[in-house]
Chain A
Amino acid sequence: MIGDRILGVLLLLLAVAYGWEAAHFPEPFGGAEAVGPETFPIMLSIILGLSSLYLIVRPDADEPWPHLAMLGELAFVLVILAIFATMLQPVGFIPATTLMVGVLCWRMGARPLPAFLTGIGSAVVVFVLFNFMLELHLPAGLLDLNGG
């Protein structure tokens, strides 16, 4: 109930903001046409607005949401993925992947040692496969001995 209502309100806001912005697009170079850059977005904003009103009025039953601890866990997973993305270029593929896969395996219930081994194993296999067989170069980072 409450989940759908909140979503409905957010979507309604989105629809209004989106439509308002579309209505204020500058007129395209060459003058207005029957269908300008704003026509289609305005149609979408109206449809979305009406549907979100329906959600607010007639919400479905809620799915159980995870507890606070689990939400923290999920946020942690997203952070790990973001750290992986940030590390990839400067530090290199193999360390970043070992960390990401290792931590994810561990968080999903594997013991630390097998988790770490899965991490480093998959990192090396994917790196070798991509760099030497498929010739797609993944960042070597700190391990690049040629001083790249």
Chain B
Amino acid sequence: METLNYLLQGFAVALTLDNLMFAAVGAILGTLIGALPGLGPANGVAILIPLAFSLGLPAESSLILLTSVYAGAMYGGRISSILLNIPGDEPAMMTCLDGYPMALKGKAAEALAISAIASFIGSLLATVGLVILAPWLAKFALRFGPAEYFALFTLAFATLGGITGKNQFKTVIAACLGLMIATVGVDISTGNQRYTYNILELYEGVDFIIAIVGLFAISELLFFIEMHAGEGLKKVTLNKLKLSMADIIGVLPTSLRGSVLGFISGVLPGAGASLGSFISYTLEKRLVGHKGSFGEGDPRGVAAPEAGNNAAANGALVPMLTLGVPGSGTTAVLLAMLVSLNIQPGPMLFTQNADLVWGVIAALFIGNLILLLLNIPMVGVFVKLLSIPPKYLMPVVTLVASVGIFAISNSALDLYFMIGFGLLGYVLRKLHIPLVPIILGMLLGPEMEKSLRHALTISDGDWSILWGSGLAVGIWVVAIAGLVLPYLIGPILRRRMAAQAEKSHSVVD
């Protein structure tokens, strides 16, 4: 009952005219970002943070705007998967398997509509799951002491590479780099200067928003230039939508199953949206078995991964909101937004900023509805946008990113830093060093050091407090498993995913 009350309060926040507008704008921008080539969800949200920030929006409005963008990007990502067989982002990979064959059969409009409905169901159920699970988890997390938090932060890094991660050492290196950047500046608890070299601008540390935009947006520009990917994708035309109620009912059970699986893998550390859509698809295939025509354009093969990845995206908000520990790149970027608004994520968020959290959750419901309404009739507009050539798009995106950074403090120095991070991001991506752990390190660094300090102050310098409670030991075990398991299971899973993709290609070609 308590939860329901809070939720109603949340709707009161989200249903103000301003916030409704922000949700709608966010949903549109998000779908654009998801649909346009070369702009992933993390990238898109990152570019918008400094803008929301320098516009001086209130906290709940900025967060509503950006979570709507996040939700929208998940919707948008499927468009190019279905029409062009090019996944907009990694989780959308599985949608290609049946979506593209459907489009080849002249059923592109149906595939888009079905995937929109499945996405809607996935997000809706996952948001309901979030409403039920999050307050409970937040209450549970109140038991966490500093030692448990220290272990939890380690867990976040250990599982970030995901169960399919290739080289765990590279994740560790990236995390270290991020944490090291976070130590630059004046040490909060002792007042010591660290790595500032008497440069005044470094006293406050390196702004992670600048780092995020540089690492993601600028390095993306460099990759586009290197790959000569300036030309647009081929034009596609949509057929007229012929969707009956029976078609929708036909994919309902699939969507429901996919949503549940997706939500679970979104909440769990290290799984994420890619695994969510993969599991949903393969299980559905096994369940329906020979009765279906999976891989040749079965509508259920479109519904399962889409429900799965949208549910996983919303499920990933659970650890981000309740523990302050994001499980994916985009939620890490959303966390950056919270931190830069001076809101401390973690279990206290639900008591101290109840209005904000529940407002955002309510906005997820509303945004999702807006997205469904937006996506079925207006999908043609988004499809047209696919053919905007990146040679015009990327420079303008770079401009918007730079303006956002410049507007934060009107200083050219921030722009130089952004360019520097862009170069760094390019080199690291070339060497397959993941960028998300760097961001996460910069974000969590101060908190992680603080919890280490608290824990050791409590124990009077005895390091064994870090694994002193059953809870802490449990977290350490999961963290170590997260680091080691990919070596055992990763190759098998990766091979299967590749085999799936291979098979679909051979059917298509």
Binding site for B on A (CB under 8 A): 3-4, 7, 11, 15, 18, 21-22, 25-26, 28-30, 33-37, 39-41, 44, 47-48, 51-52, 54-55, 60, 63, 65-66, 70, 73-74, 77-78, 81-82, 84-86, 88-89, 97, 100-101, 104-105, 107-110, 114, 118-119, 122-123, 126, 130, 134, 136, 138-139
Contacts and interface: CB of A to CB of B under 8 A. Distances in A.
B180 A41 contact: yes
Interface stretch (B93-101, B111-119, B248-256, B387-395): B387-395
A104 B399 CA distance: 10
B422 interface: yes
Given A33-B457, A34-B460, A81-B218, A118 B395 contact: yes
20 contacts: A25-B192, A26-B192, A34-B453, A34-B457, A35-B449, A35-B453, A51-B172, A70-B226, A78-B222, A81-B402, A81-B415, A89-B412, A109-B391, A110-B391, A118-B395, A123-B399, A136-B54, A136-B55, A138-B403, A138-B406
Given A25-B194, A97-B399, 10 more contacts: A21-B195, A37-B187, A39-B452, A40-B183, A73-B226, A100-B395, A101-B395, A104-B398, A109-B391, A118-B396
B13 to A, nearest CB: 23
A71 B179 CA distance: 30
A103 to B, nearest CB: 8
A83 B95 CA distance: 42
A34 B454 CA distance: 10
Nearest to B462: A34
A22 B180 CA distance: 11
Nearest to A46: B176
Interface string B379-421: 0000000000111101110111011001100101001100100
Q: Mostly helix, strand, loop or mixed at chain B's interface?
A: helix
B191 A29 contact: yes
Contacts of B195: 18, 21
B190 A29 contact: yes
- Main SS at interface, chain A: helix
A51 B117 CA distance: 45
A118 B392 contact: yes
B442 to A, nearest CB: 13
Nearest to B55: A134
Nearest to B231: A109
A139 B226 CA distance: 32
B507 interface: no
A78 B419 contact: yes
Which of B167, B391, B423 is the most central at the interface, judged by chain A CB atoms within 10 Å of its CB? Answer: B391
Nearest to A71: B226
Contacts of B221: 77, 104
Contacts of B407: 130, 136, 138
Contacts of A39: 452
Contacts of A126: 399-400, 403
Contact of B430 (A35, A65, A78): A65
What are the 6 closest A-B residue pairs judged by CB atoms, nearest first?
Answer: A34-B461, A85-B415, A109-B230, A104-B395, A28-B190, A108-B391
Contacts of B433: 7
A37 B195 CA distance: 11
B412 A88 contact: yes
A42 B230 CA distance: 45
A84 B231 contact: no
B235 interface: no
A133 to B, nearest CB: 10
B225 interface: yes
A63 B399 contact: no
Interface in B174-198: 176-177, 179-180, 183, 187, 190-192, 194-195
B6 interface: no
Given A37-B194, A108-B394, A109-B228, A54 B169 contact: yes
A41 B406 contact: no
Contacts of A88: 406, 412, 415
Contacts of A29: 190-191
Contact of A51 (B176, B396, B461): B176
A51 B183 contact: no
A107 B191 CA distance: 47
B431 interface: yes
A11 B400 contact: no
Contacts of B54: 136
B395 A105 contact: yes
Interface in B47-89: 54-55
B216 interface: no
Given A28-B191, A89-B412, A138-B403, A35 B230 contact: no
Contacts of B457: 33-35
Contacts of A74: 222, 225-226, 426
